Structure 1
Amino acid sequence: MTLDYANLRQLDLNLLLVLDILIAEASVTQAAERLHMSQSAMSHALKRLRKVLNDPILIRVSQRQMEVTPYAREISGQVRQVLTDIQATLLVKETFDPATTKVDFRMATNDYVEATIGGQVLSKLMVDAPQVQIRICSTKKDEVLAALDANRIDLFIGAELDRKPWHDQQALYEEEFVCVVRSENPLTEMSLTDYVARSHILVSLRDDFLGIVDRRLAEQQQARSVIWSTPHFMSVPFLLARTDCVALLPKRMAEQCAKAMGLKLLPPPMDITGFTVSMVWHQRHTHSSQHQWLREQVAQAIQAL
């Protein structure tokens, strides 16, 4: 049904509340008391309603008693439903009980973030939210904002984005890089000479063999030999454990893999700028209780690391 805005403007929506109370009480005095209005203000509102609806609404049947008109009785149920819908839509906040609600969240992130915080989030879900499901989506970084706008994903977690004004963001933690080699390597520190002499494994999301390190090396008239490039962070520890290669990896992930996979972490031989891991979402979900809960689980997982 198309809204007739011109006619609707003639009706003060507050009058619907007045109409509902007048029908319920069949008394101007009692209706005024329930709405904490003066009797003269209620009488004025009734006069306006009579003009707009072209119906007396209340008619006097004795000196002390008034009666609701048949038309007012007829529309009373619809008026109450309109007021109920307004209250539910605008005034009553959505409630979310993770223990009983079934919901499917879609998060875009990479395997590094999933491996770093996923275990903490998953263990909490299994205890506190058994019907909540999380789907990890492998959305390309340059497509994330469009996916958020189209509501294809609920949340992005990763390095900061050049977001739009309608995207909200919360920084989660600062990450730094470490050099990773297998534990049999005798080095206790890695010089620049050692670093460039080794074969390198590179995590590249751009499908190439060049990273931020290569630009830094070029500034010093140095170069390294990247012999393996992969978009997957989590495959790199397995590759390092079986070779004499070196890789630059995020420290939190490397620390989790080091003991289990026989790896050694060394400081990089040059200053390498780290990055901030943030979560980004569309503003349509900022005040949603279930999405607030999801973001709280992620934030708590970071604190537990």
Structure 2
Amino acid sequence: MIQLDLNLLQTFDALFESRSTTRAADRLGLTQSAVSHALRRLREALDDPLFVRSGRSLQPTARALEMGPEIHAGLVQLRGALASGRFDPATVHRTITLAVGSYFCTLIAPQLIAWARAAAPGITFRLVPLDKELPALLEAGSVDLAMGLFEHVPDRFVTEAVFDDEFVWIAAANHPLVRRRVNLEEIDRFPLLQVGTVHPFGLPSAMIEIRQVSDVAGLQIPRGKVPDSVVYEGTTAIAAVAATDMVAQVPRRLAERVGPTLGTVCLDTRTSGVRFTLSALWHSRLRQDAGIRWLLDQLKRF
């Protein structure tokens, strides 16, 4: 009987999913040489190449294609078994990896980390960017929980609303539109700074679609209005608006938290802003994970 340790099986699973030693190393938190060494041990133990180079990717052999789904299913089941049990935040030692965007990093992460230092000192939060490989990272256990706007979520994943926000118009504190009620026609007379809505993580509809906070349908952009500048996240937009005569739409929470420091205010408009909901996403095998439930309860308080 072939004896393989769990680390080798995890390496095989990461290579099978990513088809790359570099991406597998990033997913596992290892060096590329460590992954190559583990692959060499696997090849020797199984007497099969397992993966062969094809262009810039690794393609599985017939033996690897036969083993891959079974190994992956076994690892998922094992992680689920280990995830359950009693959870005491004051004494537990655990790393929780969160895939998040800039909105979360600015508004929630500082409070979460500061609060956990006192309430759960043994928990380490590891924040990584939202990425087009999110489904595979959740499957592999490299990411425990993601926060964002998600669509087309397969049944093997769980989503739960965490909190709501709305978009508001902002301008510099000394802007002519400040300190009075304005309408969209008045806003339209000033240069527009837009938070980019072209999402870089496009995925097939069968997978999870990750949307930017800025990519929310129904934003009140005046018809035919061409933005004078485009940035990719809200804090940059607030800083740019503070230094110019431009106007922009950003989430209210962000505008109220960051705006006063940078020098912007929310405009008093005649209509309500477009609302959106930030949701948590995690794998269904962690549905009963007490640590994940604890974390979600805390996030809903921020």
- Interval of TM-score (by shorter of Structure 1 and Structure 2): 0.5 to 0.7
C-alpha distance in 2, partners of 1:267/1:171? Answer: 28
C-alpha distance in 1, partners of 2:110/2:172? Answer: 24
1:173-212 equivalences under 5 Å are 173-187=163-177, 188-206=180-198
How far does residue 213 in structure 1 lie from its aligned partner after superposition?
A: 7.6
Counterpart code for 1:119:
P
Greater Cα offset, 181-190 or 240-249: 181-190
Q: Which residue of 1 aligns with 2:109?
A: 118
Which one has the largest radius of gyration? 1
C-alpha distance in 2, partners of 1:211/1:126? Answer: 33
Q: Which residue of 2 aligns with 1:291?
A: 292
Contact persistence 1:214–1:224 (CA under 8 A): no
Counterpart code for 2:232:
P
C-alpha distance in 2, partners of 1:162/1:254? Answer: 30
C-alpha distance in 1, partners of 2:160/2:199? Answer: 28
Residue-by-residue CA offset, 1:49-107 (whole Å, 9 max, x unaligned)? xxxxxxxxxxxxxxxxxxxxxxxxxxxxxxxxxxxxxxxx98x9522332233322111
Change (3 A) 1:285 1:213: closer
Q: Secondary structure at the match of 1:199?
A: coil
Greater Cα offset, 290-299 or 236-245: 290-299
How far does residue 284 in structure 1 lie from its aligned partner after superposition?
A: 1.3
- The reply to whether residue 148 of structure 1 matches residue 149 of structure 2 is no
- The reply to whether residue 97 of structure 1 matches residue 98 of structure 2 is no
| Structure 1 counterpart of 2:159, from 165, 169, 182 | 169
Change (3 A) 1:148 1:207: closer
Residue-by-residue CA offset, 1:238-261 (whole Å, 9 max, x unaligned)? 111111111100111111123222
Counterpart code for 2:152:
D
- The number of residue pairs the alignment matches comes to 210
How far does residue 270 in structure 1 lie from its aligned partner after superposition?
A: 5.8
Change (3 A) 1:143 1:186: same
1:9-28 equivalences under 5 Å are none
Q: Which residue of 2 aligns with 1:300?
A: 301
Residue-by-residue CA offset, 1:136-190 (whole Å, 9 max, x unaligned)? 21123x5433332232211111224321111111112221110010110132233
Counterpart code for 1:181:
A
* Alignment TM-score, normalising by the size of structure 2: 0.61
Q: Secondary structure at the match of 1:176?
A: strand
Change (3 A) 1:225 1:262: same
Structure 1: unaligned runs, 5 residues or longer: 3-88
Q: Secondary structure at the match of 1:297?
A: helix
C-alpha distance in 1, partners of 2:215/2:118? Answer: 41
C-alpha distance in 2, partners of 1:136/1:158? Answer: 13
Counterpart code for 1:236:
A
Residue-by-residue CA offset, 1:114-155 (whole Å, 9 max, x unaligned)? 222223312211101122111221123x54333322322111
Change (3 A) 1:300 1:235: same
Q: Which residue of 1 aligns with 2:208?
A: none
Q: Secondary structure at the match of 2:89?
A: coil
Q: Which residue of 1 aligns with 2:74?
A: none
Contact persistence 1:148–1:281 (CA under 8 A): yes
Greater Cα offset, 199-208 or 230-239: 199-208
Q: Which residue of 1 aligns with 2:118?
A: 127
Contact persistence 1:109–1:158 (CA under 8 A): yes
C-alpha distance in 2, partners of 1:168/1:207? Answer: 22
How far does residue 279 in structure 1 lie from its aligned partner after superposition?
A: 0.8
Contact persistence 2:182–2:268 (CA under 8 A): yes
More helix by share: 1
Residue-by-residue CA offset, 1:11-52 (whole Å, 9 max, x unaligned)? xxxxxxxxxxxxxxxxxxxxxxxxxxxxxxxxxxxxxxxxxx
C-alpha distance in 2, partners of 1:135/1:112? Answer: 16
* CA RMSD, 1 decimal: 3.1
